[in-house]
Amino acid sequence: MFFKSKKEVDESANEPITRSRRILEGDRTLWIIFAVLIVISILVVYSSTAKMAYDITTDLSTTESLRQQLMLVVIAVLIVFVTHKINSPIVRFFTPSLFWLFVGLTVLTYFIGSTTNGAARWLPIGSFQLQPSEGLKVLTILMLARCMEKRQKDIDRIKLLPTSWRIREPEQWKIVKENTWPLIGPIAIACGVILPAHTSTAVLIFSTSLLMLYIGRVSLRELMKFVMITSAVGILGIATMSLAGVGRGDTAGGRFSQWINTWVDGKHDAVYEFSDTERAMIAIHEGGIVGKGAGHSASRAAIIHPESDYAFSFFTSEYGIVAALILMLLYLWITFRAIEICRRATTPFATLMAAGLGLLITCQALLHILVQVNILPETGQNLPLVSRGGSSLLFTAIAFGLILSVSRTNEQERLNKESKKDE
C-alpha cells in the first residue's frame, strides 16, 4: 500500500528542494505538533495537579509536580533531537537485542517491580520508575517492521498460520518456522508478558500490529484467521486469570461490568457513587464550547487522575470542546504525516517503522479519548505526550524521533540526488 516502485521513488527524489540543512531536520509539521503537545502537557499538568497539594497521600506540591514535569519534558525534547539523528539501519541492527531486553525487564517487574493498584509494572531505578512495557510497545513495532521487511517480495501470498494441526509435517513446520514465528511471535510474546499487568496495553499492541500487517500487504484472509484465533485465546486467558485471581484479570472484568452498567443504568443516589468515566463525562460537559479557562475547572477535584488517565476530559473542561477537537486532529495529523513520510521512504523497514509508530501514537490517543466518553471501558492509557508520566512520555518521544529520523533521511536522499543532477 505504501510501497512505491523504483521509478516512482526516483521521480520523487528529483522533485525541487526548498529545504536546507538545519538543526531540527525532518518533517516541520511533526516538529510543530510535538511542540504544541508538549506545551499542552505543561498546562494540563500544572493546572490538574493543584489537587495534589490537598492530597494527604502524597508529599508533592503543585510546584514540585510542575518541576518534575518540566524536567521530563526537557529530557523528552533531548530524546527526540538525538533519536531523529539516528539512521534507520542502526535502529534495525539493535532492535532484536533491545526487544528481548525489554521482554526480560517486563517479566522482571512481576518479581521485583513496584506495585500500584494491584499492578506490578515499574522497576525502580534510583528516583525514576521505569515501566518496561512502554518500551516494549515501541520495540514490538520495530521488531515487526524488521521481520516484515525480509518478506516483502511474497508477503501477500504467505500463510501466517499452519493450515493443519499436524505441525510436525514438513510443509506445516515450514510455515511455522518461516512465517508464524517471525511475524506473529513478537506480537504474541509482547502481549503475553504484558497482559497479566496491563490488559489494555496488550490490546493496543495487538491492534497496532494488526494494522501494520495489513499495511505490509499480508492477506486479509490470513489476518481474519489470525484475529479469530488470538481473540479466542485472549478471552480465554483473561477469563482464566480472573477466575484464578492472577494478574489483572479481575480488574479487567470489573471495569467491563462497570462499563456495561453505566450504559444500562447510570443512576446513582450520591455524587461519590459516580465512576471515574462518569466524572470524566461530567467534566467534558462542564467545559462546553470554550471551557472554564485555565485553572478554573471544578472537575479536577472530582476526577481521580486528571493529570494522567483522564487528561483529555480535564483539558476539555478547561479549554472547551473546540480546543479538544483541535487536540484530536493533532493526533490524527501525526498518522497522516507518517503516511506521507512512508510514501517517500526508500526501504521497507523505514516505511513500516514510520507507519507503525505513527499508528501506535494515534491509536493510544484514540483509546484514551474513547474511554473518556464511555465508548470503551476504563483502560488506564495515558494521552501521549500530554499526560503526566515518565516512561510513557519518554518512549513516545523515542517513537516521535524515529518517525522524524525517516523523514530526515528522505530529505537527505532527495538533496543528494538533486546535487548529482546539478553536477
Per-residue pLDDT of 325-352, as tens digits, reads 999 999 999 999 999 999 888 889 999 9
Q: Nearest-CA neighbor of 368 among 170, 204, 180?
A: 204
* pLDDT score recorded for residue 19: 45
pLDDT more than 70, % of the chain: 80
pLDDT in tens, 114-133: 766 555 577 877 777 888 99
Higher pLDDT: 207 or 297? It is: 207
pLDDT at 119: 55
pLDDT at 93 over 80: yes
What SS3 class is residue 60?
coil
Q: What is the pLDDT of residue 17?
A: 41
Q: At what angle do helices 220-244 and 249-264 cross, to 10 degrees?
A: 100
Residue 58 in this model has a pLDDT that exceeds 70:
no
pLDDT at 99: 96
Q: Name which of 19-28, 49-58, 277-286, 342-351 the model is least confident about.
A: 49-58
Nine-digit cell string for 421: 543532477
Q: Comparing 43-52, 207-216, 271-280, 319-328, which segment has the lowest mean pLDDT?
A: 271-280
Share of the chain above pLDDT 90, in %: 34
Mean pLDDT of the residues in the chain? 81
Largest CA distance in the chain: 79
pLDDT tens for each residue of 370-398: 988 888 887 778 899 998 878 889 999 99
Please state, in angstroms and rounded to a whole number, the distance separating the CA atoms of residues 270 and 81.
50
CA pseudo-torsion sign 312, 75, 120, 198:
positive
SS3 of 381-413: CCCCCCCCCCHHHHHHHHHHHHHHHHHHHHHHH
340 or 301: which carries more pLDDT confidence? Answer: 340
Separation between Cα atoms, residue 392 and residue 381, nearest integer Å:
9
H-helix or E-strand containing 200?
helix 199-215
Exposure pattern of 371-382 as b/e (b: 16+ CB <10 Å)?
A: bbebebbbbbbb
pLDDT at 294: 77
Question: What is the mean predicted confidence (pLDDT) over 298-311?
Answer: 75
What b/e readout covers 66-92, taking b as 16+ CB neighbours within 10 angstroms?
Answer: bebbeebbeebeebbeebbebebeebb
Poorest-confidence range of 181-185, 309-313, 346-350?
A: 309-313
For 11, residues 6+ apart whose C-beta sits below 8 A from its C-beta are none
